[in-house]
């Protein structure tokens, strides 16, 4: 999922994501949440069937493929919805505003990167959580307070970024961020200290294209905002004012990637649907009634094969056959 979403954004508009997005994924999900997943305890009694034991069994493949496919569909659905809006402006940071390679961390200052960030982080956290259910082999996930706490923090943080006005927190992750709050984020001393340039600097949203085109008329075609002039064109240049709707919109000040309120709720509905569908697939298909029906069917097939072996080779063959072909989760989606 990570590689696919990064590739889609890069091929579409050479877009990346903010630096602290990667830090949060590596530490918050890759280390902390993965550790909490291992803290689920086994049940007190053994189950009547074995857990999955094959790397490429149908159950394992479906458990991997379903969240991956639904994540990509969620990304594409959200992007297509956004592309249909009249306020949307595609920004290729390298070709449209001549962003230097050293400012790679600002390639996430676009409308597309925000959707990519939320989709990617949500898919990783949600998949980690549903894979901790454990079915009949581990205690109820509610007893694992660690994974529940981390999952709740991620969900709260992501929907906070999506639904709230621009703030310093938004600008750490470059979601619904504007130039004013991006500069204010320098007050977050520790984060700004370790930032390569995103926290506390200018926000280079799609509106920079307007100012850059206007600056080109006075001989500066590759001008970019900088904190020396408060992230605006130098005083006295014939450029659009900061309060122009070409520059500031949807309650944000200066270049931004802020979404209108109605679109934020549309995205919210898409992401909630993704969450519900993946939880339902795990509980109803992999571990619920669908799995139970497939397991009963497999046991009947095993019994028939065992009876045939008994008729053909005697009681010893029957015992050997039924032992070797005991039903496991590997067989849930076969037959």
pLDDT in tens, 229-279: 899 999 889 999 999 999 999 999 999 999 999 999 999 999 999 999 999
Q: Which residue has the tokens 């999900």?
A: 29
* Residue 287 φ then ψ, to 5°: -125, -5
| Band of residue 4 on the pLDDT scale cut at 50, 70, 90 | very high
Query: In angstroms, rounded to a whole number, what is the distance separating the alpha carbons of residues 109 and 51?
Result: 45
pLDDT for position 316? 43
Quick: pLDDT tens for 173-232.
999 999 999 999 988 878 888 887 778 889 999 999 999 999 999 999 889 999 888 999
pLDDT surpassing 60 at residue 335: no
Answer with the residue of higher pLDDT: 90 or 295. Answer: 90
Please give the model's pTM, rounded to 2 decimal places.
0.85
Residue 32 burial (10 A CB sphere; 0-12, 13-18, 19+): middle
Lowest mean per-residue pLDDT among 61-75, 100-114, 208-222, 291-305: 291-305
């Amino acid at each position: 999922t990570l590689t696919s979403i990064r590739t889609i954004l890069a091929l579409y508009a050479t877009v990346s994501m903010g630096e602290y997005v990667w830090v949060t994924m590596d530490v918050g999900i890759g280390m902390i949440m993965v550790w909490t997943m291992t803290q689920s305890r086994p049940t007190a009694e053994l189950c009547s069937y074995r857990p999955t034991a094959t790397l490429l069994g149908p159950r394992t493949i479906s458990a991997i493929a379903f969240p991956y496919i639904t994540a990509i569909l969620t990304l594409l659905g959200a992007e297509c919805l956004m592309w249909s809006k009249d306020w949307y402006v595609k920004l290729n940071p390298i070709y449209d505003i001549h962003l230097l390679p050293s400012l790679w961390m600002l390639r996430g200052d676009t409308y597309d990167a925000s959707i990519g960030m939320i989709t990617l982080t949500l898919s990783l956290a949600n998949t980690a959580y549903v894979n901790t259910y454990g079915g009949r082999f581990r205690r109820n996930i509610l007893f694992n307070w660690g994974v529940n706490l981390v999952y709740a923090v991620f969900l709260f943080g992501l929907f906070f970024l999506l639904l709230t006005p621009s703030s310093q927190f938004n600008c750490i992750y470059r979601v619904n961020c504007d130039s004013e709050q991006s500069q204010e984020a320098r007050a977050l001393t520790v984060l700004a200290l370790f930032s390569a340039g995103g926290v506390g600097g200018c926000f280079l949203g799609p509106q920079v294209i307007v100012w850059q085109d206007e600056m080109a008329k006075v001989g500066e075609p590759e001008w970019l905002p900088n904190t020396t002039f408060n992230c605006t064109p130098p005083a006295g240049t014939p450029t659009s004012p900061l309060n122009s709707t070409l520059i500031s919109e949807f309650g944000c000040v200066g270049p931004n990637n802020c979404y209108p309120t109605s679109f934020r709720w549309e995205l919210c509905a898409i992401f909630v649907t993704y969450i519900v569908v993946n939880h339902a697939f795990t509980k109803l298909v992999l571990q619920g009634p669908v799995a139970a029906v497939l397991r009963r069917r497999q046991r009947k097939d095993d019994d028939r094969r065992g009876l045939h072996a008994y008729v053909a080779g005697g009681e010893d063959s029957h015992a050997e056959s039924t032992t070797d072909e005991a039903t496991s989760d590997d067989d849930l989606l076969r037959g």
